[in-house]
Amino acid sequence: MSNNATSAENQQERFLIHSELTPDYVLGLVDGEGYFSVTARIEDRKTYKSHNVSLVFGIKLSTKDGEILKSVKEYFGCGNRYYREDLREKFCDCLEYQVRSHRDMMGKIIPFFRKHHLRFSSKKKAFSYLCEIADMIVKREHLSEEGIKKAQRLAKLMH
């Protein structure tokens, strides 16, 4: 067995990447590094107004820790991973996992977090508002002027 801390860290990282993630591990990761986001906007077209509401779930990590996002993507069976370069001084590049598909948000992400509860109050609040907006979408309430404005107000409360 090696006394080298870096070697031990690498072994643990390889273990996590190649083993099946548990719901508790995913919850802890999301409580610490995850986010829920909603964009609700009205777009004026030539002959009509379009009401667009986008739901997003994501996890953002430093590139040195980002390999675990491969396993998260496999765990949920959806989403994409992105490399994000950060040009700001004293900031590092990152890897980001995001789910933007309405079908995956409604069919996988929201059911997972309804069954397995987040622990941080800020994440619980953001998820609660996301669910309220998702329910509005299912009921098609976001298509009215009042509905899209309510979705916009709730989206602002998420942060």
pLDDT at 106 over 80: yes
Instruction: Render 24-64 in DSSP notation, one character per residue.
Output: HHHHHHHHHHEEEEEEEEEEE-SS-EEEEEEEEEEEEEETT
Mean of per-residue pLDDT scores for the chain: 87
pLDDT at 157 over 70: yes
* Structure letter (DSSP) for residue 144: S
Rounded Cα distance, 114 and 77, in Å: 17
Beta bridge partners of 82: 96
Contacts of 5 (CB under 8 A, 6+ apart): none
pLDDT confidence of residue 70 = 94
Rounded Cα distance, 78 and 36, in Å: 16
Provide the CATH number for the domain around residue 146. Answer: 3.10.28.10
Condensed to tens digits (0 to 9), the pLDDT of residues 23-58 reads 999 999 999 999 999 999 988 877 778 899 999 999
How many distinct structural domains can be found in the chain?
1
When comparing pLDDT for 125 and 15, which is higher? Answer: 125
Residue 48: which domain range? 5-157
Strand stretches in the chain, DSSP E: 34-44, 49-62, 80-84, 94-99
Instruction: Supply the pTM of this predicted model.
Output: 0.82
Integer angstrom CA distances of residue 48 from 43, 83, 148: 9, 36, 15
Q: What is the mean pLDDT of residues 77-99?
A: 86
